[in-house]
Amino acid sequence: MRRLALAAGILVLAAIWLGPLLGAWRGSFTAHMLAHMGVIAIAAPLLAIGLPDRWRPGPDMPAALPLLASLVEFVIVWSWHTPALRAAAESHLAVLAAEQASFLAAGLLLWCTSLAVANRRTHAAAGAAALLVTSIHMTLLGALLALSQRPLFGTGDVTCFGIVLGREQDQQFGGVIMLLLGAVVYLAGGIYLVSRLLAAPGAAMAGNGTGR
C-alpha cells in the first residue's frame, strides 16, 4: 500500500506541476485552486502514507506538533491568498515555485505528523484536532472567496479547461473548490483518527495509521 500511495502522490504532483494548471491556465484562480488543493489535500497525504518510516516522525514526536503544523499551514495558505502574493505568483515563475514548494512542505508536515504515529492515543488525538481545525479554516477561506462581493485577483477574463471565466466567476469557482475538496479531505482525515480513538478506548491503538 505504501508504494502505491507514494507513486500516486508523485504522479499527482507531476500532473499538477507539469500540466496546464500552472502553465497555460496559470492566470485562472480556479486553476490555481485546483493545483493548490491537489498538492496539499491529495498529493501530500498520499506521500505521507507512502514515505518510509525513517523519513517520518517517530513515537517520540511532541504530541503538540500536529497542532503546530496546522498553524504553519494556516499561515502559509492564507498568506499566499492575499492579492499581492497571488499576483506575484501569477507573474513570476520563481514566486510560483516558492508558493508550490511551501504548499507541499506545509501539507507534508501536517499529514506526516497527524498520521505517522497514530498508534499513540495522544498523537492520534492531536492529529485529529489538527486536521479538523485545518478543515475549519479551509472552509472559512473558501467561503470568503466564494461569497466575496468583489473579485480580489486578476485583471480580466481567464480561460480554464477551455472555458472563459470573468474575474468574479473565476474566484467563486476557486472558493467552491476549496470548500468541496480541501475542507472535506481534512475533515475526513480528522474523522478517521477520531474513529480510531473511539474504536479502542483505554488501549494503545495498533498500527501506525498508514498501512504497510
Residue 160, beta-bridge partner list:
163
Are 123 and 168 contacting, i.e. CB atoms less than 8 angstroms apart?
Answer: no
pLDDT tens, 180-202?
898 899 999 999 888 888 876 55
> What single-letter DSSP state applies at residue 38?
I
- Residues 28-36 have a mean pLDDT of 93
Residue 209, pLDDT > 50, answer no
- Residues 98-110 have a mean pLDDT of 96
At 149 the pLDDT is: 82
pLDDT tens, 52-82?
877 777 777 888 899 999 999 999 999 999 9
At 85 the pLDDT is: 94
Q: Could you tell me the pTM of the whole model?
A: 0.87
At 200 the pLDDT is: 64
Q: Dump strand ranges (E) for 55-117.
A: none
Diameter over CA atoms, the chain: 58
Residue 204, pLDDT > 50, answer no
Residue count (the chain): 212
Residue 96, pLDDT > 80, answer yes
Are 134 and 73 contacting, i.e. CB atoms less than 8 angstroms apart?
Answer: yes
- Cα–Cα distance measured from residue 131 to residue 123, given in angstroms and rounded to the nearest whole number: 12
